[in-house]
Amino acid sequence: MATVGELKLFTGTANPRLGASVAEQLGVPLGNVDIHRFRCGEIYVRYLETVRGDDVFVIQPFAAPVNESLVEMLIMIDTLKRASADRITAVVPYYGYARQEKKDAPREPISARMVADVLTTVGANRVVVIDLHAPAIQGFFNIPVDHLTALPMFVDYCRARRISNGIVIAPDAGRVKTAERLASRLDMPVGVVYKRRPSHNVSEVTHVIGEVEGKTCIIIEDIIDTGGSVVNVVEALLKGGARPEVLVCATHAVLSSDAPVRLSHPAIAELVVTDTVPIPEDRMLDKISVLSVAPLIAEAIRRIHGNVSISALFN
């Protein structure tokens, strides 16, 4: 099997627990790197082992504080390039800024593209991401992007729940394809909720398509940030007569601001998320189950390093 240099794995400080789990799954030690902040806030990175000629993977989701996580990743990649790593793969389980992927108003940025540009410019040779807010972001890169998905994990979770009379709900038009894939694997119908955004972090449901009356709804989301969207969707489903026992699946539990309060909504029976970003203890709720993406990332790294097809992890 053709390989590129020795496999080395490093983690930034955004989600060290995930980095350690990936290392454990892979059966390789986490690389030794010194990352600290100067008193003024600038970030310092120094690898404490050689990376010359190595096939290096750096795990760093753009978790809160998002700009710190991003800049730390950029400096980690720049340092690797200058230390003569052979190939550098940026593993970004949660790609922040993905919701700014197009101009919705004049004179706005396309920040998702800017992030792709800087990752590439500093020296990333390839990128691994999970459940991008918009899959087209892959095209913002001129280097290979492996877009993994947590969907099979949600399929297994929901199957184990043996939900009768269920319906899978796309909480907005952007999630329809994902909802269709989940529904077809669970053998359930699909409903779609339409929403509009009058301002940042505020959403309003306009209408619900699909028969939800008397049904147990499974909402499939990419990101739960403030929790506003999901709660609005739950309220709309309840108005349509859905059972007050909604299951919410979401890959990235950003849980900013008063998300824990919103998600305490009594009709949300369960919230299933992954560990792409860490959930601080004081934001955790009893009804949240966290599935680990470590095996998925480890398998992707194993295949990339071994030059083995990875497409099985895209569905």
For the chain, state the CA radius of gyration: 20
8 assigned to active site: no
**Cα angle for residues 110, 115, 120 (degrees, 5° grid):** 130
Q: Which residue is catalytic, options 177, 195, 215, 287?
A: 195
| Residues lying near ligand R5P in the complex (CB under 6 A) | 99, 133, 171-172, 174, 201, 203, 221-230
Q: CA nearest 177: which of 55, 315, 54, 13? A: 315
Tokens 């890959």 locate to: 251
Please list, in sequence order, all residues whose beta carbon lies within 8 angstroms of the beta carbon of residue 200, skipping any fewer than 6 positions away. none
Rounded CA separation 21/16 (Å): 9
Nearer to ligand R5P by Cβ, of 100 and 120: the residue is 100
Nearer to ligand R5P by Cβ, of 99 and 287: the residue is 99
Residue 223 CB, shortest distance to ligand R5P, in Å, is: 4
Residue 232 CB, shortest distance to ligand R5P, in Å, is: 8
Nearer to ligand R5P by Cβ, of 41 and 198: the residue is 198
HSE-CB for 17 with a 13 A CA cutoff: 10
126-130 β-sheet, strand order: 7-11, 55-59, 87-92, 126-130, 145-148
Residue 56 CB, shortest distance to ligand R5P, in Å, is: 31
Residue 163 CB, shortest distance to ligand R5P, in Å, is: 22
HSE-CB for 198 with a 13 A CA cutoff: 6
Amino acid at 51: V
Tokens 């992954």 locate to: 274
**Cα angle for residues 117, 118, 124 (degrees, 5° grid):** 90
Question: Quick one: 254 exposed, middle or buried, by C-beta within 10 A (0-12, 13-18, 19+)?
Answer: buried
Nearer to ligand R5P by Cβ, of 134 and 143: the residue is 134
Residue 226 CB, shortest distance to ligand R5P, in Å, is: 3
Nearer to ligand R5P by Cβ, of 72 and 172: the residue is 172
**Residues with active-site annotation:** 195
